[in-house]
Chain A
Amino acid sequence: MVPDDCTLVQNVLNGDKHSFDMLVERHVTRVFQLVYRFFSNRQHVEDIVQDTLLQAYQSLGNYGQERPFIHWLRTIAVRRCYRELALRSKRAETALPALSGQEQECLDHYCLQAGARSEDPEAALIARDITARLLAALPAREQMVLILRDVEGLSVRETARMMDISQLHIKVVTHRARRHAQTVLAAMALGKEPHTRSQEQPV
């Protein structure tokens, strides 16, 4: 019988280091995928995942067991990512490069076709590149909230708990981040296509 997470945690606290290896095997992919949402560079993602798991190991005594272990682990990862994003946004001002022709096509596919939902992995990769550049132009807190709310699909309550800020603040930041991101996206698209004033144009 496979031991559950709580049993493994208790084993680790009783001195069985091998049980933590089992926890790592079980959850590392999900943590990896979560961190990958925030950073594109693989080396960077690996460093953050390693830091997260080491921190989890050392503070395992604080795990309350009132919620699933993976949630606790993801919370540590999210806070670690937030610290890293905050450092990065202080370090560098990100330029906003215009979209390439292929990216413009991809954007048009998603934006100009009704209910478009492509399963094409190549299109998804291009969309990921666009969103990575778009998010890099936002402040750290707005990036975090957009990814957790709109990409991961977390509720306001879950996001607030993960980021350790109030639900009201999450609602305000979400609203601000979406508007900010929409402006940035429009600016990126306009880099390719000169802005023209909207005209009343019957079809």
Chain B
Amino acid sequence: MTLHCRQVQKALRAFHDGTMPGECAAAIEAHLGQCAGCRTAARRQALTKLLRAGSRAPAPAPSDFFMTRLRGALQDCPPPQPAPAMAELLVRAGLRLAPAMAAMALIISISSAWFAAPAYNALLAAPAEELLLEDHPLSTDLILAALTGETIER
């Protein structure tokens, strides 16, 4: 079977998985034996296989010395605390969120002042008659009082 590098490199995944028919696999093995470029590509693709092979290395078990040391450390360790109650969790969450909430309130107040300022200035600059003629949301009594300097008794 004649194989070219492009064909070999396309078939490498099936080759590594072992799902390739024997004749094709033998041809690819033969090609890999001769072609340095395809060998590099094969090594590149065989990563998972290599990782799994490494994981089959026997792992050491914890030694008796370690277990003794661990028991000693556990003896010196303070006892576990029970899980915090829901109210305590809420208080903790509130404390954590407090700075963010304060910052948000500050941003909202600054931005509302920023957007409201031009409208308020326009209102102050407008002649009193215009304000009275238009159906403005501000109370006409209040506007007149502000213009004449009178105080309103409520």
Contacts and interface: CB of A to CB of B under 8 A. Distances in A.
Contacts of B1: 203
A151 B5 contact: no
B15 to A, nearest CB: 5
Contacts of A24: 70-71, 74
Contacts of A36: 59-60
A13 B82 contact: yes
A166 to B, nearest CB: 21
Size category, B interface:
35 or more
B54 A114 contact: no
Interface in B34-82: 34-63, 66-67, 69-71, 73-75, 77-82
B49 to A, nearest CB: 5
B82 to A, nearest CB: 5
B153 to A, nearest CB: 63
Contact of A182 (B47, B69, B78): B47
A196 B5 CA distance: 13
Nearest to A122: B57
B50 A107 contact: yes
B32 interface: yes
A198 B37 contact: yes
B101 interface: no
Contacts of B16: 111, 114-115
Contacts of A119: 56
B4 interface: yes
A202 to B, nearest CB: 5
Given A151-B52, A196-B37, A203-B1, A128 B74 contact: no
A202 B60 contact: no
Interface stretch (A27-35, A66-74, A87-95, A154-162): A27-35
A147 B45 CA distance: 17
Interface residues of A, number: 71
A7 interface: no
A39 to B, nearest CB: 11
A117 B34 contact: no
Most chain A beta carbons < 10 A, residue from B6, B42, B44:
B44
A76 interface: no
A140 B1 CA distance: 45
Most chain A beta carbons < 10 A, residue from B5, B28, B46:
B46
Interface of A: 12-13, 15, 17, 20-21, 24, 28-29, 32-33, 36-37, 42, 46, 49-50, 53-54, 57-62, 107-108, 110-119, 121, 123-125, 127-132, 134, 146-147, 150-152, 178, 181-183, 185-186, 189-190, 193, 195-203
Given A29-B61, A199-B5, 17 more contacts: A17-B79, A32-B62, A49-B62, A57-B77, A58-B80, A61-B84, A110-B49, A112-B43, A114-B18, A114-B25, A119-B56, A130-B50, A151-B52, A182-B47, A183-B44, A189-B40, A203-B30
Interface of B: 1-6, 15-20, 22, 25-63, 66-67, 69-71, 73-75, 77-84
22 contacts: A17-B79, A21-B74, A28-B62, A32-B59, A49-B66, A50-B69, A54-B74, A107-B43, A111-B46, A114-B20, A128-B53, A128-B57, A150-B48, A185-B44, A185-B50, A189-B40, A190-B40, A193-B36, A196-B36, A198-B38, A198-B41, A199-B37
